[in-house]
Structure formats: C-alpha cells, structure tokens
Amino acid sequence: MAVLFKKPFVFLLIAPETDNILLSLQQQVIAANNLYLGCSIEATSFCTDKFQCSEQLLNKGIATPVTFSAADGLLDQCLLDQPYVVKPQDGAGCLDTLKFDSIQQTRQYLISLPKKARDKLIVQPYLDGPALSVSLYVEQNNIELLSINQQLIEQQAQQFVFHGCQVNTIVTKKFTDQQATQLANLIDRAIAGLSGYVGIDFILTKQGPVVVDINPRLTTAYVNLATNKQRNPALPLWQHLQRLQQQEAYYA
C-alpha cells in the first residue's frame, strides 16, 4: 500500500517473509528513494532468518526454542527423543510446518528430502502450551502494546494449519499487559531497527513465554484489532503520517 504524498511516496508493505518477499519489496521501496513505514532492512533481514534470530535471542537471554539447521549435520547429532517441529527457515503463517513425534521420525522425513530442500529447513523441539502473539507499534524506541492474541492453529496429520487470531480470549488473559510490555522491551533491546507494526509469536509454557518468531511487519491479528472500538490500531500510524506531513511542510 502506498500513501500518496508528494514524492518521495510513503509505503506500508503487507507481505510474508517467505522467499525474502518482504525484504525484496522493502529494498525496492528504499532503492527508489521512497519512505518505508516499518523496520530497517537489517531488522527485516534478521527476523526473516529464523535460525539467526533464535541465536540472537538466546545470546540475549530471551527464552526461545533451541533451533537446529537441517543443513548442519542434524542427522548425525545426538538429540533427545521427543517431538520436533520442522519448518522453513524463512516461513510465515505455519507454511510447511510439520510436527513429528520422535527424533527418528524427524530424521526419516529429512532424509527423504532432496538436499537442496532440506538445507532450507530448521528443526525445533515441540513445546506444549497455547500459541499466543503480541501486536506492537514501535516508533523511536517507544512501544505501544496493541493487543495480546490467541493464534488459532490446528494440526492436521503432521501439518500445522493457521486459521488466524482472536483477541481478548480466556487464554490471552493468562498473559498480562505488563508481561507483554516487558517481553516487547526485551525484544526491542535484542534486535536493533524494529519499527512500525511488529508481531511477536510465542508459546506460553508453564515456565513462561518462549518466543518462536518475530514478525517485522503488520500481522493478521490486525483484522481483529480493526474491530476494536476502544482503540483504533491505525491511529499510531496515522499520527506518524501527520508528523511526516508537518515535517514536509516545514522544510518546503
């Protein structure tokens, strides 16, 4: 979506990280000397790579599943016999995300794939607990919590299927606004360049939240947020656009 100011145009992109689609479109916007309303290119690239992102979170002391690259000799490593999740290193929305009940089943699946396909996958231990997400608006290190969402994920055979989000459910009330804000601040300090709409996906385990993904973009939770009569989720973006217009008028 482009907001038509005088050139440079202002863009808010809605696209998945898969196959670097979001990153590629963002690079095109910036290369054309337009203004992108979102994360820096570095942050988008970082969050797109789930393996790299996981390592950074672990280094910063943020709970996240230990992530293995299927390209790095995973078949020969000694791993616990437990359920595992296999998914693309740059996936979105449960795309090609599979659960296996044991390390043996996980390895058998990986062995069945061509090396080129296997090299694009990551493997994580499966975690019990409700799948939640936090929707944020970030601007110059100021973080506004928009909502806590329950992710509607169904398992069909081995495949996970994403059916969207719900806001203000019984499950989301188990995670307070204070906890969500604390988690958002930890993520913001761990990954430089987060800006605009940002989503944090996590599993609410008995030990606390375990971050699974960071989405450097507007997420599907916005569909439910848009019906919220208490707070318009587009308001912080609109206020940002007004400030940009004022700056443009000032320098004109």
- Of 125, 143, 168, the last residue of a domain is 125
Helix axes 41-48, 50-59, angle to 10 degrees: 100
pTM of structure: 0.90
Residue 29 has pLDDT above 90, yes or no: yes
**Structural domain span for residue 84:** 68-125
pLDDT for 70: 87
CA torsion angle for 63, 69, 70, 72 (degrees, to 10)? -140
How far from the centroid of its chain's Cα atoms is residue 135's Cα? Answer: 10
Domain boundary among the residues 104, 125, 146 is at 125
Name the pLDDT band for 232 (thresholds 50, 70, 90). confident
pLDDT at 231: 74
In this structure, the answer to whether residues 43 and 167 fall within a common structural domain is yes
- pLDDT for position 250: 44
The mean pLDDT of 26-40, rounded to a whole number, is 94
pLDDT at 80: 79
Looking at 125, 142, 170, the residue that finishes a domain is 125
Q: Are residue 141 and residue 107 in the same domain, yes or no?
A: no
CA distance 180 to 153: 21
Greater pLDDT, 136 or 7: 136
- The rounded distance, in Å, linking the Cα atoms of 23 and 90 is 11
pLDDT at 3: 47
17 and 115 both lie in a single domain: no
Q: What is the mean pLDDT of the chain?
A: 89
Quote the longest CA-to-CA distance of the chain: 65
Residue 181 pLDDT greater than 50, yes or no = yes
Of the pLDDT bands very low, low, confident and very high (cuts 50, 70, 90), residue 209 is very high
The count of domains in the chain is 2
114 and 39 housed in the same domain:
no
Question: Does 147 have pLDDT greater than 50?
Answer: yes
Please give the structure tokens belonging to residue 239: 């206020």
Same domain, 153 and 112: no
pLDDT given for residue 228 in this prediction: 67
Q: Are residues 155 and 44 in the same domain?
A: yes
Whether residues 97 and 194 fall in one domain: no
- Does residue 229 surpass a pLDDT of 70? no
pLDDT digits (tens, 9 = 90+) for 38-91: 999 999 999 999 999 999 999 999 999 999 988 766 556 667 789 999 999 998
Structure token digits, residue 155 = 């398992």
Give yes or no: residues 88 and 16 share one domain: no
Residue type, 11: F
Q: Are residues 201 and 121 in the same domain?
A: no
Contact 243, 251 (CB under 8 A): no
Residues in the chain: 252
- pLDDT at 151 (0 to 100): 95
Q: Does 39 share its domain with 107? A: no
Question: Residue 100: is it exposed, middle or buried by C-beta count within 10 angstroms (0-12/13-18/19+)?
Answer: buried
Residue 251: half-sphere exposure toward Cβ, Cα within 13 Å:
6
Say whether both 188 and 217 belong to one domain: yes
Question: What is the CATH classification number for the domain harbouring 197?
Answer: 3.30.470.20
Instruction: Say whether both 60 and 158 belong to one domain.
Output: yes
